[in-house]
Structure 1
Amino acid sequence: MNGKHERAARPAPADLNSREAVEHFRKGAEEFMKKATRSKESAMKALVESGIYTKTGKLSKNYRS
């Protein structure tokens, strides 16, 4: 891995409609939100990494109207 993203300790279940898969997703989303919303800087970093904002702080082309 390139160190940019951390992977879950266990792989997602094969059946994406199972309770286990839903719980796996919920826990992953909760962890992401805790990290991404710690500060304004971490929130902006998450938005840049996801491609919503550019490094200069402007909305990327796909999100402008």
Structure 2
Amino acid sequence: MADRMTPEQFKSEYRRKGWTGLALAERWSLSPAWISKLGNDPDREAHWDDAVRGLPTIKKLKSSSK
């Protein structure tokens, strides 16, 4: 079983994959406030940690200058 994530690890993991709290809220059909609450709760249910670990990485498009 995977270790539980600290609030810092939770937020760091979704940011590392290119997600913002707002984008994550839209993806999971939750409010940005709820994402913040989840991220800051060290006693959140384990499935939220699993969900963050399983997020796809967002590829950022590079803008081309002409």
Q: TM-score if structure 1 supplies the norm length? A: 0.27
Query: Relative contact order (C-alpha < 8 Å, sep 6+): which is higher?
Result: 2
